[in-house]
Amino acid sequence: MKKWIVLMGLVAVTAAADKPNIIVIMADDMGFEDTGFTGSKDILTPHLDNIADSGVVFKQGYANHPFCGPSRAALLSGRYQHRFGFETNPAYDPSNPIMGIDPGEVLFPERLQKAGYVTGGIGKWHLGAADAFHPNKRGFDYFYGFLGGGHDYFRIDLSQPVKEAYLQGLVRNKRPADFEGYLTTALSRDAVSFVETNKDKPFFLYLAYNCPHAPQQAPEEDVARYSHIEDKKRRVYCAMVDVMDRGIGEVVDALKQNGIYENTLIFFLSDNGGPQSSPKQPGKGNGSSNAPFRGGKGNLYDGGVHVPFIASWPAKIKGGQVFEYPVQSLDIARTAVAVAGADASYGPAMEGVNLIPFVTGKNKGAPAEAIFWRGGDGANWSVLASDGTKHLVDHDTKKPELYFLPDDVSEANDILSKQPERAKELYAQWKKWDADNVPCRLMGYKAYHKNRDQFFAEAIPGDAKKAGYRPKVKATFK
């Protein structure tokens, strides 16, 4: 009996050792061209470049949405976020039990928990601030970061209006938390600590930087390293990305020092493209470059959704690869669940494709026939076929367009009039996909704040009757 127990214990230990650690690193509002492996000449990203060299660069790597919250909802659920009505950025409101990701959705970290993984989330959440949406209730054993869509990089100031909580405190699990110095560095150091604490168990780490999202802030000494760049916004942006890259290097070093680097699957991507200035919004850009693509954050042109996207797993994936076919952020969740031996069968059906058989050469061709986008409850839409043909309606131009990306990466030559039948075929595919979507169930954060401010303004006691307030019981306003 004792021998049987010992044998079973050894089997369990061996099984745990075989499970790869999984790390997903997500940048925020990062331009496509802003890494060395995508062609940057002015930003130093040696650590990201090393990850790319050790694994695979997805030449056509796509975020699932052109801005923050919905992109993260898709990544973590492993489902098109339109299936559950998460098509806009939720407002920060800890008192609102609706303004967040549907509690019925199973986030993939929960699936990993059930497969024996320790799960950690560090950084930006942006999937709801109320208790029901808290990361500790959505599959994360550990969380350190902030629940809203962004944060100041140097300070907390609880005396200021809350709004989107850029100056509110951080949280560590369910308790208030602080940070010292520069926020990006604090998140990196916490990630290193998570790795070192859990090095003897299979773990999943979601390291969601808010870098290089606004506000554009970086340590003076790091900005000084880019003093040769004339554009001030670009100079600060480069420094922000540089600091993030060094922090990622520290995480990789922790893996190596603890002997677990070879069996760790690392993904890196951005949640969307970098925001760009325009004649209507000259101050919108954050200093990023989406070259050679058209548009930026908010657009369904490639500048809004085509992002730096790499994976490394030295024990399994041969280094120095470039994968030519389109992949998307949904595939990360499906891949993680597959390699962890987790259960994808319960709860709402996962989407996306396990990418490992494709990057190891077991499977040939494209992971998916097409990938899809939607915004504004279908007012804006896009479909990209595996051969690189893209059909879309973007909110900037508001008209159908057709491009063949292998010959036209900047989407400058609309071929709709030359290939109307191909456009009809792709639109039919999009309509079939869209049939399973639901209307957006959330109010956008700008409209939400406007309505909430109006509510309180009208609820001032002296103006209650003017606002149409009719209490069900008698009340005395003082």
Name the residue among 405, 272, 391 with its Cα closest to residue 328: 272
Q: What is the DSSP letter of 350?
A: P
Q: Residue 84: is its pLDDT beyond 80?
A: yes
Q: Residue 13: is its pLDDT beyond 50?
A: no
The DSSP bridge pattern shows strands 142-146 and 118-124 to be parallel
Q: At 75, is the secondary structure helix, strand, or coil?
A: helix
Alpha carbons 291 and 301: distance in angstroms, whole number: 12
- Any catalytic annotation for residue 68? yes
Residues 265-293 pLDDT 10s: 999 999 999 999 887 777 789 999 999 99
Q: Residue 467: is its pLDDT beyond 60?
A: no
Domain membership of residue 104 (yes or no) is: yes
Domain membership of residue 397 (yes or no) is: no
Could you list the residue range(s) of the whole structural domain that residue 29 is in? 19-359
Domain membership of residue 328 (yes or no) is: yes
Q: Rounded to 5 degrees, what are φ and ψ at 476?
A: -110, 120
- Provide the token pair at 455: 């509510």
CB atoms within 10 A of CB 451: 11
Q: At 151, is the secondary structure helix, strand, or coil?
A: coil
Alpha carbons 355 and 332: distance in angstroms, whole number: 8
Q: Residue 411: is its pLDDT beyond 50?
A: yes
Q: Residue 470: is its pLDDT beyond 80?
A: no
Q: How many CA atoms lie within 13 A of 189 on its CB side?
A: 8
DSSP for 374-429?
EEGGGTEEEEEETTSEEEEE-TTT-SEEEEEGGG-TT-----TTT-HHHHHHHHHH
Domain membership of residue 444 (yes or no) is: no
Annotated catalytic residue within 47, 68, 213, 306? 68
Instruction: Report pLDDT for 156.
Output: 98
H or E element that contains 421: helix 420-434
Annotated catalytic residue within 47, 65, 82, 126? 126
Total tally of structural domains belonging to the chain = 1
Q: Residue 203: is its pLDDT beyond 90?
A: yes
The domain that holds 174 is classified in CATH as 3.40.720.10
Q: Residue 2: is its pLDDT beyond 70?
A: no
Residues 129-160 pLDDT 10s: 999 999 999 999 999 999 999 999 999 999 99
Q: Residue 85: is its pLDDT beyond 80?
A: yes
- Any catalytic annotation for residue 126? yes
Beta strands in 165-308 (DSSP E): 170-172, 175-177, 203-208, 264-270
Mean pLDDT for the chain? 93
When pLDDT is cut at 50, 70 and 90, the band that residue 461 belongs to is: low
Residues 340-360 pLDDT 10s: 999 999 999 999 999 999 999
Residues 380-407 pLDDT 10s: 999 999 999 999 999 999 999 999 999 9
Q: Residue 457: is its pLDDT beyond 80?
A: no
Domain membership of residue 415 (yes or no) is: no
Q: How many CA atoms lie within 13 A of 134 on its CB side?
A: 17
For the CA atoms of the chain, what is the radius of gyration?
23
Name the residue among 378, 410, 405, 371 with its Cα closest to residue 63: 371
Domain membership of residue 175 (yes or no) is: yes
Domain membership of residue 425 (yes or no) is: no
Is the peptide bond prior to 215 cis by the omega test (within 30 degrees of 0)?
yes
Alpha carbons 459 and 464: distance in angstroms, whole number: 5
372-386 mean pLDDT: 97
194-205 mean pLDDT: 98
Alpha carbons 386 and 325: distance in angstroms, whole number: 6
- The Cα-based distances of 40 to 27, 45, 167, 291 in angstroms read 16, 9, 32, 10
DSSP for 194-220?
HHHHTTTS-EEEEEE--TTSSS----H
When pLDDT is cut at 50, 70 and 90, the band that residue 458 belongs to is: confident
Residues 240-265 pLDDT 10s: 999 999 999 999 999 999 999 999 99
Domain membership of residue 57 (yes or no) is: yes
When pLDDT is cut at 50, 70 and 90, the band that residue 444 belongs to is: confident
